[in-house]
Amino acid sequence: MNSTVALTLALPRGRPWAALEPVLLAAEVPGVQEADPERRLVATAAGVRLIFTRPADVVTYVREGVADLGVTGKDVLLEDGAGVVELLDLPLGSWRMSLAVRAGDLPWSRLLVEKGDALRVATSYPVTAAAFFAARGLNPHVIRLRGAVELAAVVGLADCIIDMVETGRTLREHGLVEAELVGRISLRLIANQASHRWKATEIGDLVRRLSQALHQVPPK
């Protein structure tokens, strides 16, 4: 790593970046103003290196020590958050994790009782789904998919799905309705365990600036 870099931040591309960028600007994080995550994956300015990646991969870069800090969604941490330190809740965006069923099926409460452990659940979040049902004393068949989870319910692969929802438009377009909220999802600032110890001053300063910036920038 370049010795002139004091902190490296792993940041998410796509929609999370759109929600996060105004807060980073308000916190005066170097390099953010000139950042272009869709064209340049690495940027360095004033001792801070920014690396841009998929939200699901941010944890890996932080855990492995390539990045001192990172920002990713709580959904990612619920699935794969071991080995990092969660520092700050960044209540940005309007995401939620929901359980959805086909609009014409039995009411969810009745379907849950009738199916029990025979329920088939499709999701990209198998750990979260298993924990959600375990809290209800159930152990359904969880089917892990990498994307287009709605399709599983449409074609009958699953009785229900658990997925991230923003506006709900995609669910409606596929004839699905939200039956139960699994949890609200926000962005979180995380740290590498060693960096959290050895770079406490630099990290503490950034956490303070981000906390202040959250009060200056209205959430999207």
Please give the average pLDDT of every successive group of 10 residues along the chain, which has 220 residues.
78 93 95 90 93 96 98 95 95 92 93 94 97 96 95 96 94 96 96 97 96 80
Q: Quick one: pLDDT at residue 165?
A: 95
The CATH number that domain 7-93+185-216 falls under is 3.40.190.10
State the pLDDT at residue 218.
Answer: 65
The two structure tokens encoding residue 184: 């609200």
**CATH number belonging to domain 95-184:** 3.40.190.10
- How far from 129 is each of 112, 132, 136, 160, 167, CA to CA, in Å? 14, 5, 11, 11, 21
Q: What are phi and psi of 103, to 5 degrees?
A: -60, -30
Spatial contact of 210 and 27, defined as CB atoms under 8 Å apart = yes
CB atoms within 10 A of CB 78: 17
Provide the 10 A C-beta neighbour count for residue 170: 16
Instruction: Say how far apart CA 154 and CA 101 lie, in whole Å.
Output: 9
Within the chain, all domains assigned CATH 3.40.190.10 are found at: 7-93+185-216, 95-184
Which pLDDT value is given to residue 94?
82
Take residue 177 and report the two structure tokens written for it. 């309705």
Contact by Cβ (8 Å): 101, 159: yes
